[in-house]
Structure formats: structure tokens, C-alpha cells
Amino acid sequence: MEGLHTFGVLNFSSYLLGTIFIVLLPGPNSLYVLAQALSQNRARAWAAAAGIVLGDTVLMILAALGSASLMSYAPGVYAIVRWLGALYLGFIGLQLLLSAYQKLQAKTPATSRSWAVNTPALRTALTLSLTNPKAIAFFISFFTQFVDPSYSQPALSFLILGVVLQIVSIAYLSCLIILGQKIATGLSQRPAIYSAVLGSTGLLFIAFAGHWLIQ
């Protein structure tokens, strides 16, 4: 869409394809939303999605202000964020494993409170988003490449790119919630399989945490 070049947006087609690819990559943000959907608690699932969108919005604003680029020149700060994110991921993973074990021991049908974390879903998702190295790296190394530095109103360019990203993200998270609830409904009377799904999700969170710590 060459017309967007008028608003300081460069190579919009490449940006759109890259954004779709990045959003579709499995990550802790989308995994957390899916886990909430599997809990059969629709309100928590949508709250988690809202937290992810809010967190991405904060990161985009920081990128637009130039603050995010400080991460490139302050590896110590980036390392602290990465470690905090990894520890938080591990904490959520352990909670999921414990919940899966308790559900398996109870041998009762899955309920909307089968693994609910005490902390609000929106706050947990927001924390995940703001401490996600993949998201931070995306806004530092990818997002800003499609803004024309000579354009007189770069805030408008960032706004356009941000809206596009959020549309893609919201569509994807909505699909995850719908899919997760359908899966949860099918497994609601199969506590063993349901526990296995929750446990596998917990292990994925721990795997992400380990990857963040050693990278």
C-alpha cells in the first residue's frame, strides 16, 4: 500500500506479513490466553487477552518515544527484564502443574475454577507482556524499521503500525479463546486428559522460562 508512505510508513506489505508471522509464533502471551480459555472461564480469558493488548500498547508507546531503544544500549537492564520474565513464567508453569495434579487426584469433571490463579488474569497477562523479551525485541528491532525517520509526524506512523498490529493480535487471541473453550468443553468430563493438557501447558511455560534464562 504505497499510499501509506504519505504517512511515513515504509514497506507496509512487508510489515504486515512480518507482523502476522510474529503474532502466530507460539509464545507465553498467547499460551497464557489459551490456558485461561481452557479453564472454561470466559471472563478470565478475555481479561488475559486485554492484558496482552494493553502490554503491547505500552511497549509500542515506549518504542515511539524512543525509550525502548535504550534496551539496545543497556544490556544489564534487558537482562534484568529477561530474568524477571523467566521467573514469572516459571511461577505460572508450576501453578499449572500443581493444578493439573490436584485435578487428577480429585478425579472430578473440569470446572471453571479448576486451575484459576489467585492473581487477576489481566494483571498477570500484562506482566507477561511487559517482561516478554520477544515482544521487547520485536518493538526495538522490527517495529521501528517501518517508520520513515524523515517524516514530520512519526507519531502518526507509529499509530498506524500499532493499530494494524493490534487488529492482527486481537483477531488471533479471539480465535485462541474460542478454540480453547471448545477444547475445554470436549474435555470437561475427562479429568485425566484435561489434567494432561494443563500439565503440558505448565511444562511449556517452564520451557520458555528456561530458554529465556540461558539465551
Residues 84, 63: Cα–Cα separation, whole Å: 20
Q: Report which DSSP code applies to 88.
A: H
Domain ranges of the chain: 28-214
Q: Report which DSSP code applies to 66.
A: T
Report helix, strand or coil for 76: helix
Q: Report how far apart, in Å, the C-alpha atoms of 21 and of each of 14, 24, 160, 206 are.
A: 11, 5, 18, 23
Start-to-end C-alpha separation, the chain: 37
The crossing angle, in degrees rounded to 10, of helices 191-214 and 154-187 is 150
pLDDT along the chain (215 residues), means of 10: 68 85 81 82 89 90 66 61 72 74 60 52 88 73 74 80 91 91 71 69 76 69
pLDDT value, residue 116: 46
Model confidence, pTM: 0.72
